[in-house]
Amino acid sequence: MAYVKNLFDSNFIQYASYVIRDRAIPEITDGLKPVQRRIIHTLIKTDDGRFTKVANVCGKVMAYHPHGDASIYTALVNLANKELFIDKQGNFGNMFTGDGASAPRYIECRLKPITKEILNTNPKITPYVDTYDSRDVEPVTFSAKLPLVLILGAEGIAVGMSTKILSHNIHEVIDAERKCLMGEKFKLYPDFPTGGLIDVSEYQDGLGKIVTRAKMDTSDEKKIIITELPYGSTTESLCDSVEKAAKNGKVKIASIQDYTSDKVNIEIKLQRGVYTKDVVDALYAFTECEQTIYCNLLVIRDNMPVQMTCTQVIEYHSKQLVGILKQELELEKADLIDKLHLRTLERIFVEERIYKKIEQQKTEEGVLKAVKDGFVPFKAELIRAITDDDVDHLLKIPIRRISLYDINKNKQEVEAINARIKEINHLLKHLIEYAISWLNGIEKKLDAESSERKTQITNINTVDVKAVTKRDTPLRYDEKSGYLGIDVPGGGELFKVTPYDKVLYVRKSGIFSVSECPKKIFIGPGLRFCGFADKESLSKVLFTVLYRDPATQFVYIKRCKVQAFIMNRDYFFAPDGMEVLHVDTRKEFEFALNYVKKPRLKVLTEKFKSSDYEEKSLKAKGVRVASKEVQTITVQSDKPKTGELFENK
């Protein structure tokens, strides 16, 4: 058994680690999940500037992704609809209506040129590993120059954790990164392609929540037009929620029509006698026109899941951008120095006719030695020591090129190389300024439409569902059957309720409970009290309980209020074993005790006033009314008020 347990534990840990790192949670370095990274890697590798069938792309991605083509196709469509890396041709679905994309054999895509500028694919900077079948290599993570995790957003459920990262406007993200590099303060808020309104007062830098609403045109008092959707909704799901609310009587509308094409246009016509101002709050309360979205910015960082804030992501990527640009400059500088070294060798090799010294040599070693010896007098002009590879390069120069060698052209190339090296040295000393200029340059290359914020930030006063729900459902109690609830067919109506009300009811035995507005529950005959269980209502209700001790036949009185309770739990007004004779909610009333007949007992009935006794806590014991055995009690008659009192008879 121990072996089996260890086997399960080990396999589960491996499975959990795989789901977290390789499927559900994006990597902070490039903001991509593995399937997205493999799609982009495939598009970069096969890019020729022309459109390619999505089905063809999916097939090529399968060489890197050890899963079916369905997951690749879905990820590619979602990534293409982000409008950043992939150009689309054909029907890629409609984000407004929720309609899906056409089959992969009918649609085409290609890589946008800007992708190669944002994602560095140089193997000397970006780490590569073997694919799952070791036939090729793929990037571990791209070296991204922008915080794509904030631009693209992400959502995923892993083992024991989940991530919910909202998308942000790319220009606002670039501006935040620019301000971070300059040491200025910045704030980032979500922006969605579907538009709508959002309240970011509790966003908490990516770890809190937002309230999002549909944008409505309410200029016509008899018609509401929804022009923008809240995040997470489609026109289909929103219309379904409105129709369901109307069917349940929560929203009064005559009809709803969806005229959405490339822009959202949902028309809601109202019933006769109902006006726009009467319906808007109900739409927010009972439909998808208003939603609360909870955020959790969880990413993979250093091979571990880490919860970060938007500010921390921007700070991380600012340092990463500077690091990538520095590596690129240093690699370019090293390449230029190698090129300058070779141009110097070529000039000396041709001008000084060193190639003539190899004519008499008959062995490879002799040739190498002759060339190296020929450069000894010009050692001071060389950038570094000459190597065998350098000699091999010189020996491969065609005779035609030697005879037509242009010294002026070589001089111009050397000057251009030296000028660029000088420029690189300057940039390496001013990396922050260079990073800011790079951000400015990439921002100019983005589509003009992407610069516009689509979601309007505003203050939203969340609609209280209870406040907009009218108390129009009768709560009934049937004395004969003993049932209480809104679905009880017979009996009498106690008062009007809503489905969100809490109700306190007292049974004949003196046991009371609090529950959500019941549909149909059995409490037995002899309901003593039923009323609302909110703080305001209960603060006004003073319970007066008369109970008898079966052992002594003494009667006690207890006056108290119900101030705290646990839902759906039974409570007893009297101590255990006591017999509750009467429960009253009047502030003042008279009652009489009818004593057991005994010799020398002259007074058999005695009257009392409830107001003569003080209020106590719910858990306190009652006060003994008289030190005599009580046979029955008589309570001053008063017609019970609806929802307050049912006399004990």
Q: Among all residues, which ones are annotated catalytic?
A: 106
C-alpha distance from residue 141 to each of 31, 132, 156, 468 (Å): 9, 15, 18, 51
Q: How far apart are CA 514 and CA 541, in angstroms?
A: 15
Q: How far apart are CA 42 and CA 138, in angstroms?
A: 9
Give backbone dihedrals phi and psi of 537, rounded to 5 degrees, phi first.
-70, -45
Give backbone dihedrals phi and psi of 105, rounded to 5 degrees, phi first.
-80, -10
Q: How far apart are CA 570 and CA 511, in angstroms?
A: 6
Query: Which residues have CB under 8 Å from 635's CB, separation 6+?
Result: 546, 582, 584, 589, 590, 591, 592, 647, 648
From the CB of residue 399, how many other CB atoms can be counted at a distance below 10 Å? Answer: 8
Residues 239, 255: contact at Cβ < 8 Å? Answer: no
Q: Which residue has the tokens 């991380």?
A: 316
Q: Both tokens of residue 365?
A: 């070693």
Beta bridge partners of 495: 475
Residues 216, 226: contact at Cβ < 8 Å? Answer: yes
C-alpha distance from residue 168 to each of 43, 206, 449, 455 (Å): 25, 11, 14, 10
Query: Which residues have CB under 8 Å from 371's CB, separation 6+?
Result: 349, 354, 357, 358, 386, 391, 394, 395
Number of residues that this document lists for the chain = 649
Residues 644, 593: contact at Cβ < 8 Å? Answer: no
Q: How far apart are CA 293 and CA 460, in angstroms?
A: 14
Q: What is the DSSP string of 289-307?
A: TEEEEE-B-EEEETTEEEE
Closest by CA to 197, choosing from 152, 228, 168, 218, is: 228
Q: How far apart are CA 528 and CA 510, in angstroms?
A: 8
C-alpha distance from residue 522 to each of 22, 528, 567 (Å): 54, 14, 17
H/E stretch holding 428: helix 407-429
Residue type, 407: I
* DSSP letter, residue 168: B
Q: Both tokens of residue 518?
A: 């019941």
The 3 state secondary structure assigned to 451-497 is HCCCCEECCCCCCCHHHHCCCCEEEEEECCCCEEECCCCCCEEEEEE
Query: Which residues have CB under 8 Å from 289's CB, separation 6+?
Result: 213, 214, 216, 226, 230, 238, 241, 242, 283
Residues 507, 485: contact at Cβ < 8 Å? Answer: no
Angular region, 201: left φ>0, alpha ψ -120 to 50, beta rest: alpha
Q: What is the DSSP string of 163-187?
A: EEE--B-HHHHHHHHHHHHTT----
Give backbone dihedrals phi and psi of 338, rounded to 5 degrees, phi first.
-65, -40
- Report the chain's terminal Cα–Cα distance, integer Å: 66
